[in-house]
Structure 1
């Protein structure tokens, strides 16, 4: 059986999840996203294939050793234990790149020197000769990552960052990196649009990076095909026969794919920039399929023969407050051109200033965070249709409000309206009311405010971990509410909360809560990757305040989770539609002998696994299953599985692509409960919950079960104002 090796593909912050998707498509095994990259497994051929085909990775690393090192001596000793002669010869040149985080060894150049000495000394001892260091294009590049006094030494198979495709002969000021441009195109939906024959237009094409990356995607062209240097070419494990086969395959796919590239056009007001774009397109051998020209923004328009596709632009977004005022007309012009000339198209705007994005005057249906260097930016996706138009800077509030917009909305301290003062007083009143209950019951996460004042339709949740975080959801205002008033009230709330709740503004997360359909309530909203640890009773959980519509912990279910923990001892527990597995954690900590956690989402099952590991739970006894719950129930019934405690908290609707049919809680709950009842032991208990406010339990079809409405018992003090937050029943066999 071929040997599988472990690899780590690095990438820029915010691109880990889409890199993981890409690696799975390439064929990598055991793909697992992590901070700064993605772990994967495969044969040597897979690592070479990733170097050739990844549009998003920076480097592909082969870990050689992991060890603890708090001193230079320990760092040296660990590097000396690796037999470097198995990887390269004394006549090969090499270089070392070190990066360090929170370690006693804190100087990267010094760490590189220590590791270099170990390698040189080992070769000198064995051969009486020493290899030479060469910083530029060495035969072998070694990566040293030191984090919290733990060292990982790896071979860098890429040699030079994979974002360098070698088609960029010239450049404009501050160009997008090629892999960032690819990530933006993926987030914009370009692969699907291109497959359907849609055109692409970039009206500020600069050096032509969007154009070239878009053509390479649409034409199935390997991004590494133009590169002549890779870090694996001098590696002793490198197999040139495999590599030549991969190159020939890529050349064949390119030749075939060139015929599938739809119209791709870019323009720029600068004649110089358009010339640079043409030179780069020529270097990529794509002159026949990409058109670049010099044209002012006011004259941009699609060719009538094109099929509506993607309008994509990376306008300037300024780094100083004065820039915003000057750049607003540019963003307004982009919006005007889209509405006047690109009806029926998709549009994506990549910007580091959220406030400027609202001047496009189209309602964005999706946004994603990516980083341009150290600058947090967003991809705003628009559908250019009349119903998505609006007038005014802030009329389209997104589900996730960026930090820049929060800062823009914040008034100066003390500049509070009468309404803001009223909101502040209500928050103080609620704090006074809830504080004794919070302290007595050791509550760390709770709802402080839930639209108490009709004018301020917010849900405000407090999460007390290592830091206090405030998660705020603004309910979508009715269409009858004046947009300007809505923005002013949001401004009031942003002014009040940091001061009254004693937190810095960056520890406040603000979202709009729209009516969700299907699994969209669980879809990712951004890519900040900000997880924080909180406690609930004896359990610990990871929550996320920015990346998803919900945080990973439904606070209204706290009493249900506590009840499950108290009654799970010695029982087999089943959690259906499990989300991040919080109820299972409580059951396991409460003494459940085994548990089964079922959900369709890989993202949330991975999250659940992290919650299990955070609580030191034995995963051999607590099984995670990715499946359609209705289908899984059929299989479980056939296998005659039995559980003494079952928890079911299904979505109201689900039309996931992994489901053949739409799930409707009102229509399908009887079938769901009856199936689950077949798994319930004779003296077992099933807890069924839903947050669908119009839900009616069909007890007439559940006559074989004893049904007890326990909704009132499951509403805690912080949700007393909103008793319809969920409904809950206990069901047992008669």
Structure 2
């Protein structure tokens, strides 16, 4: 059977999982790039990726590669492809061009050059010129120019594969379906589902995690509810496709009968809960996924729930609300988890991983992903008493950015105290002569404490200099806490009369 080369793309953070998925499909991976994997398979295998991959974004059939650094070389490369084998007169096409090189100074110009070459080829074969359209083309053409090499191919799916077909409504911080699947894989959901465990999402939004989890548990193909560009192509591309879809239908029916997992989602926004219900109904899971409006402070695990996985993507921390409010919500969520979900696994996706410390749980593993352009971190936890801990920062510290006074290193703090006493002795006469003027008692004298300390009467001002990138945020926070504890004590100033400033030097 004839095989071809295909380029399968995926979001950053999903490539390792995608490689595992290709291996499970029995598809050979022949190369890796930053944006995806090169694989070699037949048309049935490529269609199977479109239908069954939970992680891939696009599947591109490789047609041609040639050196290119000018409009003429791009046109010649496009003209060399037998487009008449793919395009019927009534079909439309679109060119998506990536990259620049030489005289190709913009993707738009590159796309025009590919179009010109395609039209020249069609005219040379005596065919009618096809129509170029920006929306839903019959033949989506992919062109990539990198390091002087032009790669031309056909996008098998058309619309990105994360568009499953069930979600027409989303919340304010929508999670891509492919990323939701990646989170579920990293959190161990396939094993939990196989054992009959349940899944919960305490910030379910429009229900993406819940639906993706139900698809996995019931062996539902993620592409079952959508169409693909290749379905309208001529030739042998679609030979055997009806049988592949029929097999996917049968596997879903069997999976629905076999799965014992149940799914529960809650969210504080009734509007997105209503949207989640509609998405769930479109996916055909309204009999096993339940969602409802619920404040996180009232969140409880159903009595009959089977121990499994809690996985959530809260909007808080993605700058939809203040950091203080996010920290408060995570404190409350952590209390509910420790009370209601001992024995469960827990996964939390955040754009600010520091907020995870507010849960009062020790993370066992972390993974980084991108949700669109937003960098995120998946924190994984086992909810058991041995992993409980006190949050590192108080809510007041998160609100103000100022740590509570505390000594974390006695020897280091003693060095600061001795330096302050010494500097105070040298300045005592000047301070006594002009008590209402400002006197600098310390200015980064010790490398560990990058602050300036100024006394004005009975007031003390601590000005923190931005620490270098080599100093971790936690270390800088602890050192500032020591300054705030030592300085008023040594200088005889009321701690309530200490003010804080932050500057960049």
TM-score by length of 2: 0.77
Distance 1:472 1:41, change over 3 A: farther
Alignment partner of 1:359 is 2:358: yes
Q: State the partner residue of 2:96.
A: 97
Q: State the partner residue of 2:242.
A: 244
Q: State the partner residue of 1:116.
A: 115
Q: State the partner residue of 1:292.
A: 291
Distance 1:471 1:237, change over 3 A: farther
Q: State the partner residue of 2:35.
A: 36
Q: For 2:2, what is the secondary structure of its paired residue?
A: coil
Runs of 4+ in structure 1 off by over 6 angstroms are 470-474, 484-487, 489-492
Q: State the partner residue of 1:254.
A: 252
Mapped contact 1:232–1:238 kept (Cα < 8 A): no
Q: State the partner residue of 1:305.
A: 304
Alignment partner of 1:391 is 2:381: no
Q: Name the CA distance, whole Å, in 1 between partners of 2:100 and 2:373.
A: 17
Q: For 1:368, what is the secondary structure of its paired residue?
A: strand
Distance 1:32 1:382, change over 3 A: farther
Q: Name the CA distance, whole Å, in 1 between partners of 2:414 and 2:469.
A: 20
Q: Name the CA distance, whole Å, in 1 between partners of 2:414 and 2:13.
A: 38
Q: Name the CA distance, whole Å, in 2 between partners of 1:43 and 1:75.
A: 28
Partner of residue 488 from structure 1, selected from 478, 482, 501: 478
Q: State the partner residue of 2:427.
A: none
Q: For 1:334, what is the secondary structure of its paired residue?
A: helix
Alignment partner of 1:48 is 2:47: yes
Distance 1:343 1:318, change over 3 A: closer
Q: State the partner residue of 1:235.
A: 233
TM-score by length of 1: 0.54
> How far 1:32 sits from its partner (Å)?
4.1
Q: CA RMSD in A?
A: 3.1
Alignment partner of 1:194 is 2:193: yes
Q: Name the CA distance, whole Å, in 2 between partners of 1:139 and 1:55.
A: 24
Q: For 1:364, what is the secondary structure of its paired residue?
A: coil
Q: Name the CA distance, whole Å, in 1 between partners of 2:265 and 2:102.
A: 47
> How far 1:471 sits from its partner (Å)?
12
> How far 1:238 sits from its partner (Å)?
3.9
Mapped contact 2:296–2:329 kept (Cα < 8 A): no
Distance 1:318 1:487, change over 3 A: closer
The C-alpha deviation readout for 1:170-219, integer Å capped at 9, x for no partner, is 22223111111111111111111111111111111111101100000110
Q: Name the CA distance, whole Å, in 2 between partners of 1:319 and 1:308.
A: 29
Distance 1:21 1:489, change over 3 A: farther
Q: State the partner residue of 2:452.
A: none
Higher mean displacement: 82-91 or 277-286: 82-91
Q: State the partner residue of 1:154.
A: 153
Q: Name the CA distance, whole Å, in 2 between partners of 1:369 and 1:490.
A: 29
Alignment of 1:202-241 (within 5 A): 202-228=201-227, 230-241=228-239
The C-alpha deviation readout for 1:76-123, integer Å capped at 9, x for no partner, is 111111111122223311111111166652311111111111111211
Q: State the partner residue of 1:57.
A: 56
Q: State the partner residue of 1:269.
A: 268
Distance 1:421 1:8, change over 3 A: farther
Q: For 1:172, what is the secondary structure of its paired residue?
A: coil
> How far 1:125 sits from its partner (Å)?
2.3
Structure with the greater alpha carbon radius of gyration: 2
Q: For 1:370, what is the secondary structure of its paired residue?
A: strand
> How far 1:250 sits from its partner (Å)?
0.3
Mapped contact 2:89–2:127 kept (Cα < 8 A): no
Q: State the partner residue of 1:3.
A: 2
Q: Name the CA distance, whole Å, in 2 between partners of 1:322 and 1:472.
A: 30
Q: State the partner residue of 2:379.
A: 380
Q: Name the CA distance, whole Å, in 1 between partners of 2:152 and 2:216.
A: 33
Mapped contact 1:103–1:146 kept (Cα < 8 A): no
Mapped contact 1:219–1:261 kept (Cα < 8 A): no
> How far 1:154 sits from its partner (Å)?
0.8
Distance 1:149 1:355, change over 3 A: same
Mapped contact 1:103–1:147 kept (Cα < 8 A): no
Q: Name the CA distance, whole Å, in 2 between partners of 1:15 and 1:255.
A: 28
Q: For 1:163, what is the secondary structure of its paired residue?
A: coil
Alignment of 1:160-179 (within 5 A): 160-179=159-178
Q: Name the CA distance, whole Å, in 1 between partners of 2:60 and 2:413.
A: 53
Q: State the partner residue of 2:459.
A: none
The C-alpha deviation readout for 1:709-731, integer Å capped at 9, x for no partner, is xxxxxxxxxxxxxxxxxxxxxxx
Alignment of 1:467-478 (within 5 A): none
Q: Name the CA distance, whole Å, in 2 between partners of 1:263 and 1:53.
A: 22
Mapped contact 1:121–1:130 kept (Cα < 8 A): no
Q: Name the CA distance, whole Å, in 1 between partners of 2:61 and 2:46.
A: 9
Distance 1:194 1:60, change over 3 A: same
Distance 1:283 1:122, change over 3 A: same
Q: For 1:127, what is the secondary structure of its paired residue?
A: coil
Q: Name the CA distance, whole Å, in 1 between partners of 2:262 and 2:320.
A: 38
The C-alpha deviation readout for 1:276-317, integer Å capped at 9, x for no partner, is 101000001111111111111122111222221111111124
Q: Name the CA distance, whole Å, in 2 between partners of 1:88 and 1:309.
A: 50
Unmatched 5+ stretches in structure 1: 396-404, 411-416, 423-454, 456-469, 475-483, 493-734
Mapped contact 2:263–2:290 kept (Cα < 8 A): yes
Q: Name the CA distance, whole Å, in 1 between partners of 2:247 and 2:211.
A: 21
Q: State the partner residue of 2:82.
A: 83
Q: State the partner residue of 1:17.
A: 16
Q: For 2:40, what is the secondary structure of its paired residue?
A: strand
Distance 1:261 1:99, change over 3 A: farther
> How far 1:394 sits from its partner (Å)?
6.4
Distance 1:128 1:30, change over 3 A: closer
Distance 1:198 1:471, change over 3 A: farther
> How far 1:33 sits from its partner (Å)?
3.6
Alignment partner of 1:126 is 2:125: yes
Q: For 1:38, what is the secondary structure of its paired residue?
A: strand
Q: Name the CA distance, whole Å, in 2 between partners of 1:103 and 1:366.
A: 45
The C-alpha deviation readout for 1:340-396, integer Å capped at 9, x for no partner, is 11000000000100111111121100010000111110110000000001002269x
